[in-house]
Structure 1
C-alpha cells in the first residue's frame, strides 16, 4: 500500500504561480459539480471512455525521451514477490511480467509471456505455450522452468511471505470434516516452452490471475535454497542485479530522491513495423515528501503526469493551456479509503504484551460501537470541503467503477452525530465526570490513537475531520501522521496501531480482494492470520469469496460478491469514506495515449511527440 526530495530554488516561482492561480480558482469552482451532479454525469463519462477505447489505434512512435512522475514514498524493497506496498510495486511492475496481461483498452485478458493456451472441458487443466523470443535482462533465455520455479519454490513456499500466494490458494469444502481446506494447483514444465497447470477446483479469474510476475530461476533459486530469499533484492542491492523480463530495468536509485528506470534494449515486443519496444528511453520517479510538493513539481514542468486531487483541481484547471497539459477524467476511483479498527487479540512475541489494550479491544470488537462511529463520518463534507465536490460517498467495499460487481444497496450510515450519541448512550458508555469524554462500563475514557501517512493531504484532512466530529460524540481521538513505509510496518508486522485511515488499490475483479477479506490472510488488517474465523460474519465472507471465485456463471458470481459487500456494510470492520474522481494531468506531448476506464496507456507503446 503505499526520503525526502530536496527542493530547488525554482520552486519559489511555482509557489507564486499557485498564489496567482488561487485568484482565478473561484471562477473554476463554478465548473465543479455538486455531489449529486457528479454522480449523474458519471454515466456520460463512462460512455466517453468506452468510445475512446473503441476508436483508439496505435501509431508508430519514435524511440526517445522519458516519462517523469512523482511518488510520495520511495521503494521499501526491490523484491516484488514479497512486496505489499504500492511505493515498491508501482516501480517494479515495469521490470516483471506474467503469462497474461489485462488490456488497458478492453479489460480483456491477453497473452504476455505466454503466446497461447488451451484448457480441458472441465476447466481444471490449462496448458500454456510460451514465447521463445523472451530474454531475462541479463541475456539468459526465459523458459517454462522459470514459471515452474516461481510457483513451486516462491509462491507456494511457506517460508516465503509471497504476496501472490492468497490468489493461488484454492479452497474446497470437505464434507467429512465439515470445514474448508486449502489446496494448491500443480504447475509443471512439460518442456522448455510448455507449462501445465492443474487446478483442484474451477476458478473463474484464473487467466486474469496468471498475470502474476514470473521470476528468474537461475538468479533466485540459490537464495530460496539457502534461506536468504526475503533479504534478496533489498533497496541496497545494485540495480543491475534486479533481473526481470519487462520493458525497463533499474538504472539507479538515489535514496530519498529518485528512481530511474532505463529501456530494456532486448525487450521481446515489437510494433507493427518491427521496431523493438518500448519507445521511451527512461522512466523517472521523483520521490517527494507530499502531494503539495508533487503539485509544485508538475507546475514547474519537472514532471509529466500528476494525479490531481479535488483540492488542487481549481488551481490546475486554469493552467492547462499555458502548462501544455490536459486534465483527464476517468470516473470514480477503483481504490478505497477507509477507517480501520485494530481487533487483533494477539501478543507481541518479544515483549509478551498484547497488541491492543483489553478495554480498547472490547470497544473495537463491538459492532454497535463501530456503527456509531460510522454515523460520525461526514462524507459529504469531505467531498465538498476537501475534494471540491470531485468525489463520491463510498458505502460498499467494491467501487462502482467495477461495474455490476458493485452492490449499491448495502446498508448506509448517514452522518448524524445525534444518532451516534444515542447509540453510545444505549450501550451505557456515557460521560460521567463532565469532561466531554465518554467512559465505558469500567470507567475507561473512550479515547484512542489515529494514524495515516504523511504527505497525503486528503487523508490527513479526513483524519482531522474524523477527530473533530467524533469529539462531538464524546470520543477522544489522538491523531498523528506517520511516514508511509513505517505505517506499512505497523500494519503488516508489528501490529502496534489502534485505528488508521489508509487506502487499498482495487480493480474490476473482486477476487483480488481476498487477501483483505479472508480471515486467514495477511492483509485482513483488523485481525490477520486468524486460525479460525473470529466471528460468524467473517466466516460467511470467507465462504462467499471462495464460492464466488469458483462460480463460472457471471450472474451467479455477482450475487456472491453482492452478499459479501452487504455483510461488510452491516458489520463495518472498516468504515469507508469517499471515492475520489480519477483525475490525471498529462503533458500534451505523448503519443499512443487516451483515457479509458482502466488506464491512460500501455507504457510499452507510449512515446514523446515533442522534439
Structure 2
C-alpha cells in the first residue's frame, strides 16, 4: 500500500474538512453571567509564576553559538528590519513576538505542554505532519511510505538532503534512536510512549529507509506519527541521560527545523533565527522571539499594545480587543475538550457513585454561558464531534440533577453525621483538592465547580499553581485528586493512550474491562463501520455509564493576531499551525 492509499485509509472525510473550516470574524460578548462574577470572587486570585533565573555559559559548537544572557533583555516593541518582497506578494524578513507562559524544555521526547510544542515546531521536524487543508497525514522528514499487506510493517522513505543544525546528516538512525528512547526506554520520562503499545521494533534498512514493525495492526498509527512527535539527534543525545541533559533540553537544542536557537534568557525570552539551510527553503520570517508572560491578562494587554503579535484568547478577552483595527481573529473548531480529571485510583474517586455524583452535580450549560457566553459546545463524551464519523450524536450531556447526585453519595455511605455541612463516611469527611493554573478558562471551571460541589456537601478546595508545576509535578506523575485541565488529540477516535488501563498516558488511572476490549479492537481493525460501532459504545461507557472524569465542553479556538501576520493555515488549530511556521510572513 503506497503513501496516497495510506492517507485515504486513515484520512478525515471531506465532511470533517467542511465542519472544521475556519470562520473569520469578530465575536462580541456583551458580558459574563452575574453568577460567574459572584463565583469567581470565591476563588483565589491567580498570581504570575516566579521563575528562578539560571545563567549558563554555552559551550562552543560547530553551529552558531546560543547565547545565554545574564541580564534580562527588554524585547522591543518595534524592530527595524529590512523586509524583502518575493514572488506572489510574500515578503521576507521581520521579527515576530509570541507570548509564552513559562520556560520550556526543548527535548521533544520530554515535552510537557503547548509551549514546548510551539518552539519545538520551529526547531525540529517529525516523520509526517497533517496536511494544512485536509488534516490528512502528509510528508515531513519522510517523503513517502507504504504499509505491508498484513498491516504490520510500515516502511518510510526519508528525504536525502536533510541536515541537522550542526551540519551532520539526518539519517534513519536518528528515527530509530528517537523511538527506541521514547517508547522502549522505561527510564526516560517520555510523552510519546503511550500511543505505541503495539510497536514491536524500529528497524534501519539503510540511511534513508526505516521500518516500524508492529505486534498487531494499528489503525491510527500514521495519524499518531503526525501528532507533535519530533525526531531528535542521535549523535548529540546518545549516551546522555535524556531526563537531565540540560545542555540540549534547556540551552542548546540541535534540530532539523526551519529555525535555530539563538538566545536563551530563562524567565524572560527565547529567540530563534531562520535556518538558511532548511530543507524546504529559508523561512520567510527572520526572527521569532518567544516572550515569557505568565499572566493571561498581561498577554492580552500586550497584544493590544503591539508588544506581542499573536495569542490564543477566550471570549471574556474579546470586549477589550474586538475594536482594535490592528488585530484580526480566526474562530475555529479544535479537537479538544476541557474537563475536571478525577484520579480513579484514590478515594473518594475510586467509587463510581462519587464520580457519577460529580457529573450530575454541576450545570455544564451554566458554566458554558458564564465562560464562553454559550458559544462553545457542552461535551457529551471524550470523542470530539469534529471526528464526525466516530462521534456518538445520540448522546446528550449529563443533566444537572443535584438531588440525584446527593442520592448517589448517600448510596455509597456519605452522610452528614455531625451537622457541619460536610458529608462524611467512617469518620472521614468527603474532602479533596481541585488543582488548576491561572489560565482563565481552566481556573474558572475549577472555581465554579468548587461551589457546585460544596452545595452537595463536598469539601472541595481549590489549589492554584503555575502551569509548568501542575503538569510536571502532578499531571505526569498522577499525583492529584482532581484537576481542571484540557486534552488535545489527533484527528482519529483511537483514545487508547488515554483510557487503556495499561497505558502510561492514562492520567486518571481509569480501569474498565469493556473499555479495554473496545479500544483494543478499535486499534486493530481498519474497517470504519466496525470502528464506528466500537467507539460509539466506548463513548457511552466513559461519558455516562462509568465516567472517568467530569467533561465540561468542546471549545472554539479564537486566534487573535496582528494584521501584519500572514500565511497561517486556516484549517489547522493554532498548535498544529506551527508545523507550517516556515510559510508565515510579515507584511510590515
TM-score of the aligned structures, taking structure 2 as reference length = 0.80
Report what 2:529 is aligned to.
555
Report what 2:473 is aligned to.
490
> Is 1:408 matched with 2:393?
yes
CA shift, 1:295, in A, is 0.6
Q: Which residue, 517, 528, 538 being the options, matches 1:543?
A: 517
The verdict on how the C-alpha distance between 1:72 and 1:476 changes in structure 2, with shifts beyond 3 A counting, is same
- Following the alignment from structure 2 to structure 1, what is the Cα–Cα distance between the partners of residues 215 and 414? 50
Unaligned runs of 5+ in 2: 1-26, 33-86
Q: Which residue, 96, 115, 129 being the options, matches 1:67?
A: 96
Report what 1:592 is aligned to.
567
> Is 1:141 matched with 2:169?
yes
Aligned 8 A contact 1:148 1:195 in 2: yes
CA shift, 1:105, in A, is 1.3
Residues 469-478 or 230-239, more deviating: 230-239
Report what 1:253 is aligned to.
264
Deviations 1:479-516 (A, max 9, x none): 121111221233246544222111122231233x4322
Report what 1:159 is aligned to.
187
Report what 1:571 is aligned to.
546
> Is 1:123 matched with 2:154?
no
Q: Which residue, 272, 276, 297 being the options, matches 1:265?
A: 276
- Following the alignment from structure 1 to structure 2, what is the Cα–Cα distance between the partners of residues 543 and 436? 42
Q: Which residue, 274, 287, 291 being the options, matches 2:292?
A: 287
Deviations 1:362-409 (A, max 9, x none): x21111121111112221222212222222211211221222222233
Deviations 1:285-307 (A, max 9, x none): 22112221111111111111121
**Number of matched residues?**
503
CA shift, 1:236, in A, is 7.3
Unaligned runs of 5+ in 1: 1-26, 33-57, 171-183, 270-275, 345-355, 528-533
* Structure with more of its chain in helix, by fraction: 1
CA shift, 1:568, in A, is 0.5
**Displacement over 6 Å in runs of 4+:** none
Report what 2:208 is aligned to.
193
Report what 2:244 is aligned to.
231
Correspondence list, 1:76-115, <5 A: 77-115=105-143
Secondary structure at the aligned position of 1:405 is classed as coil
The verdict on how the C-alpha distance between 1:336 and 1:59 changes in structure 2, with shifts beyond 3 A counting, is farther
- Following the alignment from structure 1 to structure 2, what is the Cα–Cα distance between the partners of residues 138 and 556? 48
Report what 2:308 is aligned to.
303
Q: Which residue, 322, 338, 346 being the options, matches 1:317?
A: 322
Q: Which residue, 373, 386, 406 being the options, matches 1:388?
A: 373
CA shift, 1:204, in A, is 1.8
Q: Which residue, 217, 224, 231 being the options, matches 1:214?
A: 231
Aligned 8 A contact 1:377 1:577 in 2: no
Deviations 1:184-232 (A, max 9, x none): 3332222222223333322222223334322212111132xxxx22212
Q: Which residue, 426, 430, 434 being the options, matches 1:446?
A: 430
- Following the alignment from structure 1 to structure 2, what is the Cα–Cα distance between the partners of residues 114 and 435? 63
- Following the alignment from structure 1 to structure 2, what is the Cα–Cα distance between the partners of residues 494 and 598? 28
Deviations 1:271-321 (A, max 9, x none): xxxxx23111122222112221111111111111121201112332222x2
- Following the alignment from structure 1 to structure 2, what is the Cα–Cα distance between the partners of residues 156 and 425? 45
Aligned 8 A contact 2:200 2:214 in 1: yes
- Following the alignment from structure 2 to structure 1, what is the Cα–Cα distance between the partners of residues 442 and 218? 36
Aligned 8 A contact 1:69 1:305 in 2: yes
> Is 1:365 matched with 2:350?
yes
The verdict on how the C-alpha distance between 1:526 and 1:236 changes in structure 2, with shifts beyond 3 A counting, is closer
CA shift, 1:235, in A, is 7.6
> Is 1:341 matched with 2:346?
no
Aligned 8 A contact 1:249 1:262 in 2: yes
- Following the alignment from structure 2 to structure 1, what is the Cα–Cα distance between the partners of residues 415 and 182? 52
TM-score of the aligned structures, taking structure 1 as reference length = 0.77
Report what 1:470 is aligned to.
453
Report what 2:332 is aligned to.
330
- Following the alignment from structure 2 to structure 1, what is the Cα–Cα distance between the partners of residues 360 and 201? 48
Report what 1:176 is aligned to.
none
The verdict on how the C-alpha distance between 1:313 and 1:555 changes in structure 2, with shifts beyond 3 A counting, is farther
- Following the alignment from structure 1 to structure 2, what is the Cα–Cα distance between the partners of residues 573 and 554? 26
Q: Which residue, 397, 403, 408 being the options, matches 2:382?
A: 397
The verdict on how the C-alpha distance between 1:248 and 1:426 changes in structure 2, with shifts beyond 3 A counting, is same
The verdict on how the C-alpha distance between 1:248 and 1:457 changes in structure 2, with shifts beyond 3 A counting, is same
> Is 1:501 matched with 2:501?
no
- Following the alignment from structure 1 to structure 2, what is the Cα–Cα distance between the partners of residues 451 and 217? 37
Aligned 8 A contact 1:78 1:234 in 2: no
The verdict on how the C-alpha distance between 1:238 and 1:493 changes in structure 2, with shifts beyond 3 A counting, is closer
The verdict on how the C-alpha distance between 1:156 and 1:428 changes in structure 2, with shifts beyond 3 A counting, is closer
- Following the alignment from structure 2 to structure 1, what is the Cα–Cα distance between the partners of residues 489 and 320? 28
